[in-house]
Structure 1
Amino acid sequence: MGYVVDGVELETDDQGFLLEPNYSEEIVSLIAEAEGIKLTDDHWLVVNYMRDQYKENGHTPNFRNMLKGFSEIRPGTDSKFLYDLFPLGPAKQAPKVAGLPQPLGKGGY
């Protein structure tokens, strides 16, 4: 299953994660739709946070570090808030929707 952006098919693994990161807005919309997620401004905050983490570290954070780091951007964030946005697991589903490769281990560093 691949996604087509600007006439180019992007390769995915067997779980639907992109093999190479793609930072376009279009890929976020395509993957979110495939995941059954209706994007809100809060989704975009998380997507941009995950993309920044990937660019800085070469991978995305595990859930604990994601919650801690994202709380600095949006004070008052708790696990319920993140699970409401990404019900299949924020540390796994958020990078997928963000157009990033599958996280390491159990959800990043």
Structure 2
Amino acid sequence: MAIEVNGKTIETTENGYLVDYNDWNEDVAKLIAEQEGIELTEQHWDVIHYLRDEHINNGGNEPNERTILKAMAKKWGTKPTSKDMYQLFPLMPSKQGRKIAGLSQSTRKGGY
């Protein structure tokens, strides 16, 4: 499978995850989010950039829901709940967020 962004064809897996995270940019994220039925807000971008940073700069780390909540609490200065995160990413923040962030499909099992 593939998606077309700004005249460039980008390879994806059968589940819609990018084959190469280096093909990602914000326009790619916007298209994937649109396909997922999500309109990106500043909070979405915070999670997306956090997931990319963890994966790229921390040995392929795949933060779970609790870790994402803690990181966003520090970033936002509030205490978001799981419900808040699922309002941003209804199909699971750690998985749907990774997809929009252009990362590979999670190999983690379970939620928390």
Q: Into which bin does the TM-score normalised by the smaller protein fall? A: 0.7 to 0.9
Structure 1 unmatched runs, 5+: none
What is the Cα deviation at residue 98 of structure 1?
1.2
Identity of aligned residues (%): 44
Q: Which residue of 2 is the match for residue 51 of structure 1?
A: 52
Q: Supply the distance in 2 between the matched residues of 1:12 and 1:55 (Cα, whole angstroms).
A: 18
Q: Which residue of 2 is the match for residue 81 of structure 1?
A: 84
Count of residue pairs the alignment pairs up:
108
SS at match of 1:69: helix
Structure 2 unmatched runs, 5+: none
Q: How does 1:1-109 map to 2 (within 5 A)?
A: 1-21=1-21, 22-57=23-58, 58-74=60-76, 75-106=78-109
SS at match of 2:4: strand
What amino acid is aligned across from residue 37 of structure 1 in structure 2? I
Contact persistence 1:96–1:102 (CA under 8 A): yes
Instruction: Show structure 1 runs of 4+ deviating over 4 A.
Output: none
Per-residue CA deviation, residues 23-58 of structure 1 (Å, 9 max, x unaligned), is: 311101100000010111111111111111112122
Let me know the Cα RMSD of the aligned residues: 1.9
- What TM-score results when the alignment is normalised by the length of structure 1? 0.86
- What TM-score results when the alignment is normalised by the length of structure 2? 0.84
SS at match of 2:34: helix
Contact persistence 1:59–1:104 (CA under 8 A): no
SS at match of 1:77: coil
Contact persistence 1:12–1:18 (CA under 8 A): yes
